[in-house]
Structure 1
Amino acid sequence: MGDLNRVQTARAPAWHDQGDAGERAFCRRIARVAVRSLYAELVLYPKPGLVSTVDNGSHTDMTAATFMRSLFALRRYFGDITRAGMVDAPFHVLKQLGIDAEARMLRATAGINTHRGAIFCLGMLCAAIGRCRARAEALTPARIADLLRACWGQALGAHSIVNDDHASHGARVSLRYAASGAREEGALGFPAVFAVGLPALQRALAAGRGMREARIDTLFALMAHISDTNVYHRGGIEGALTVRRQARAFVARGATAAPDWEARALASHRSFVAARLSPGGAADLLGAVCLVHAVTTR
């Protein structure tokens, strides 16, 4: 794993190794928070259909160990893209950093896509966090979202247009079902993170529930709200309706405030596994919510 920290592109030193000592320390800190946020998503349980340290959910090709290898491979990326955001790098630079990170992920996982959506979502948020730092602005959810749209919104909007013959599963699903995916979320400044997931997390914490329960609430709120291209890919329209219906029922019953919440979440997990449904898009956005919450509440 140590070799992954030393890998650098041949073109230039790693972005997070540039700048003064304070900037480098900031980039390293944000990278650690990003990795910890994705780890928090991984170890959360029960998560309907998703890989955790308890079981593999609806997946036969990946385990928690696969995700851990991916996380180690992505450590440098989050620092690099934070630094790139600090210097107001154009979108094509951020995109290339993401492409390089995806290649490292695939090498680490023997070709299994564990974090493609998270590379895009958390990467863009790290860039916006870096931009906040460069402008000496307070790290608040509103400013992170505002700067994301102001600095890269136009490019993200163009990026959301699918015209690639080698498009990902998510992009092809978007064309077939007109479902919103990571590209569309990014073009709009990740409203699911700032208007759905983060408020759900904050409400649960304000009500006195623990972080585990707050993250479960957040996941179900996201599942109830987004059109998850991962679900459409595996289950089509019927699968998507199943996910949204069960998530909305869980939220309507009070989410983790209900005394039987864990049994209901486990029942959804078993149901999703039986149908091979995996709301990976919601899981990526949960990681993004954890990142934004962590950097704005310190």
Structure 2
Amino acid sequence: MDATTFMRSLFALRRYFPQAAALGAQQAGFDALERLGIDAERRMLCATGGINTHRGAVFTLGLLCASAGAVLAQGGPCTPAALRAALRRGWGAALQARCARPRSSAGQRVTQQHGLRGASEEAALGLPVLFDVAVPALRRALAHGLAVRAARLEALFHVIAVLDDTNLAHRGGLPGLRYAQGAAANFLAAGGAAQGDASAQAEAIHREFVARRLSPGGAADVLAAACWVQRVCTD
């Protein structure tokens, strides 16, 4: 995984998100959204030679785009609350049923093994970590005068501290997940991204993660979604 595979993946996915929004506007069922997402994931893997660069974005941002399509088609303002309500109303039951399917991916197996809340369950609940943690943290940091990059760093650590990140659990087991959550909580308790040496502190945590083969990919997906919400929502 490098910059080249990311760019190839982005080009492979460039039509997917507007298509998801269009399905949401049509109030399409979850099966149609899922087929669209599976096809997008196939194109991504073909473009990257089998490397998973954006699977989380295909799932989470796809659902958010569909929710935005549904909200706008009904003439409502695109607010975080409206997005969340549209997601749960339109596809919450189907997402909950998806949780009961046989566990095939590494992330799904980890959720079952450790009793964690996976992506499908998180989405079925209306993405609570996104809307209750990430978006408020990002907005709060920006309102307090942090630069965009620092505000995103603050939001990322808020997410790492609470998310059942299956990528962390897959790499380091439950101890790895808890270690990462604790490191993020300590960073925030010390002042977070408002610290004078916040970048150096974050870099030190990064080096510890690398040494332990820990990658908070799930938290990164939530941060990307929070940036999207911040950009497209009117309130």
**TM-score of the alignment, normalized to the shorter chain, above 0.5:** yes
Do structure 1's residue 158 and structure 2's residue 97 form an aligned pair?
A: yes
Partner of 2:110: 173
Partner of 2:215: 278
> What is the TM-score with the length of structure 2 in the denominator?
0.98
Partner of 2:66: 127
Partner of 1:10: none
More helix by share: 2
Larger relative contact order, structure 1 or 2 (CA cutoff 8 Å, min sep 6): 1
Partner of 1:64: 3
Which moved further from structure 2: 190-199 or 65-74? Answer: 65-74
| Equivalent of 2:23 in 53, 71, 84 | 84
Q: Is the 8 A contact 1:87 1:131 kept in 2?
A: yes
Q: Is the 8 A contact 2:23 2:33 kept in 1?
A: yes
* CA distance in structure 2 between the partners assigned to 1:68 and 1:191 by the alignment: 30
Query: Residue by residue, what CA displacement relative to the aligned partner does 1:150-198 show, whole Å, maximum 9, x if unpaired?
Result: 111111111122414xx11110111111112211111111111100000
> What is the TM-score with the length of structure 1 in the denominator?
0.77
Structure 1: runs of 5 or more not aligned = 1-61
Structure 2: runs of 5 or more not aligned = none
Partner AA of 2:26 in structure 1: V
Query: Residue by residue, what CA displacement relative to the aligned partner does 1:132-160 show, whole Å, maximum 9, x if unpaired?
Result: 11000001000010111011111111112
* CA distance in structure 2 between the partners assigned to 1:278 and 1:162 by the alignment: 26
Q: Percent identity?
A: 51
* CA distance in structure 1 between the partners assigned to 2:68 and 2:198 by the alignment: 34
Report SS of the residue matched to 1:198. Answer: helix
| Equivalent of 2:158 in 221, 234, 240 | 221
Partner of 2:32: 93
Report SS of the residue matched to 1:151. Answer: helix
Query: Residue by residue, what CA displacement relative to the aligned partner does 1:39-83 show, whole Å, maximum 9, x if unpaired?
Result: xxxxxxxxxxxxxxxxxxxxxxx1122112111111111011000
Report SS of the residue matched to 1:75. Answer: coil
Partner of 1:236: 173
Deviation at 1:209, TM superposition (A): 0.7
Q: Is the 8 A contact 1:181 1:281 kept in 2?
A: no
Deviation at 1:223, TM superposition (A): 0.2
| Paired positions, count | 235
Partner AA of 2:71 in structure 1: C
Q: Is the 8 A contact 2:12 2:44 kept in 1?
A: yes
| Equivalent of 1:246 in 169, 172, 183 | 183
Deviation at 1:297, TM superposition (A): 4.0
* CA distance in structure 1 between the partners assigned to 2:133 and 2:99 by the alignment: 21
Do structure 1's residue 187 and structure 2's residue 117 form an aligned pair?
A: no
* CA distance in structure 1 between the partners assigned to 2:3 and 2:125 by the alignment: 31
Partner AA of 1:286 in structure 2: L
* Alignment RMSD (CA, Å): 1.0
Q: Is the 8 A contact 2:107 2:118 kept in 1?
A: yes
* CA distance in structure 2 between the partners assigned to 1:84 and 1:136 by the alignment: 16
